[in-house]
């Protein structure tokens, strides 16, 4: 499971219907827009929760580092550290080895969306400037180095407050975003930083409390 919601019953039901077990729970970053279901799901299944090693989580979990790989039968996962929305942000590159050794899709969390990118201002403490620069590197130095055919599945789409310019489409491809995502048309770092920090709406009041609860594992 990746970025589970608080209501875990649909996940348990789906696994039971297919006679499968939930063995890994990945968080692409410490969530702010919702209270995570990772802790409830871990208690219900015994599966460990995985977070990037820079996350300051205060509950039992397994650390992830850039380049880590996890094999689950025919499915192969590679962890990409893609900070910018938060310091601990990751993307997960997925390969189905029953078909090919080439990656198939990438789960981009809150780094890259269909039509937008993650907002870098949620941590406060004047962190938005450095995070915006990290976001530029994560996009241009990591995700945009992937082949155009790689499918993109972000954590949110239109209507979410975690990014800027989100499309209503739930998925995309690297090639489509490379050509049409407004954030990726800002080629220079300075132009990108100015653009991504401009005209951001106020942070929803619940975000800070949600993040604290998720750090504590409540």
| Distance between CA atoms of residues 128 and 135, nearest Å | 10
pLDDT at 71: 92
pLDDT at 217: 82
Q: Which helix (H) or strand (E) holds 10?
A: helix 9-17
Low-confidence ranges of the chain (pLDDT < 50): none
pLDDT at 122: 82
CA distances from 7 to 38, 93, 102, 126, 156 (A): 10, 26, 34, 34, 17
- The class (CATH top level) of 9-199 is alpha beta
* Residues composing the chain: 218
**Angle of the 189-197 helix axis to the 128-137 helix axis, nearest 10:** 130
pLDDT at 50: 97
| Distance between CA atoms of residues 22 and 139, nearest Å | 30
pLDDT at 163: 63
What does the DSSP assignment read for 108-159? EETTEETTEEE-S-TT-TT-HHHHHHHHHHIIIIIGGGS-TT-EEEES--TT
pLDDT in tens, 60-70: 999 999 999 99
Is 163 in contact with 111 (CB distance < 8 Å)?
no
Query: Please, where are the H alpha helices in 29-77?
Result: 38-45
| Distance between CA atoms of residues 91 and 174, nearest Å | 13
CA distances from 155 to 3, 60, 91, 121, 191 (A): 8, 23, 10, 18, 26
Let me know the angle formed at the C-alpha of 31 by 51 and 111, rounded to the nearest 5 degrees: 80
pLDDT at 62: 96
CA distances from 23 to 45, 90, 109 (A): 8, 19, 20
Q: What is the pTM of this model?
A: 0.92
């Amino acid at each position: 499971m990746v970025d589970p919601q608080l209501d875990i019953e649909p996940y348990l039901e789906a696994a039971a219907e297919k006679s499968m077990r939930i063995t890994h729970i990945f968080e692409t970053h410490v969530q702010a827009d919702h209270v995570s279901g990772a802790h409830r799901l871990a208690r219900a299944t015994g599966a460990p929760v995985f977070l990037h090693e820079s996350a300051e989580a205060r509950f039992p979990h397994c650390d992830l580092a850039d380049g880590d790989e996890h094999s689950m039968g025919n499915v192969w996962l590679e962890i990409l550290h893609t900070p910018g929305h938060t310091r601990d942000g990751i993307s997960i590159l997925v390969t189905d080895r029953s078909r090919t050794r080439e990656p198939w899709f990438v789960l981009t969390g809150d780094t890259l969306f269909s039509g937008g990118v993650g907002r870098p201002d949620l941590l406060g403490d004047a962190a938005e400037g450095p995070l915006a620069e990290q976001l530029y590197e994560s996009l241009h130095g990591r995700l945009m180095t992937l082949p155009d055919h790689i499918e993109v599945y972000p954590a949110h789409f239109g209507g979410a407050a975690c990014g800027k310019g989100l499309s209503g489409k739930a998925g995309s491809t690297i090639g489509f975003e490379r050509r049409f995502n407004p954030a990726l048309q800002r080629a220079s770092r300075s132009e990108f930083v100015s653009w991504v920090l401009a005209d951001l709406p106020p942070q929803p009041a619940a975000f800070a409390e949600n993040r604290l609860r998720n750090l504590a594992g409540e």
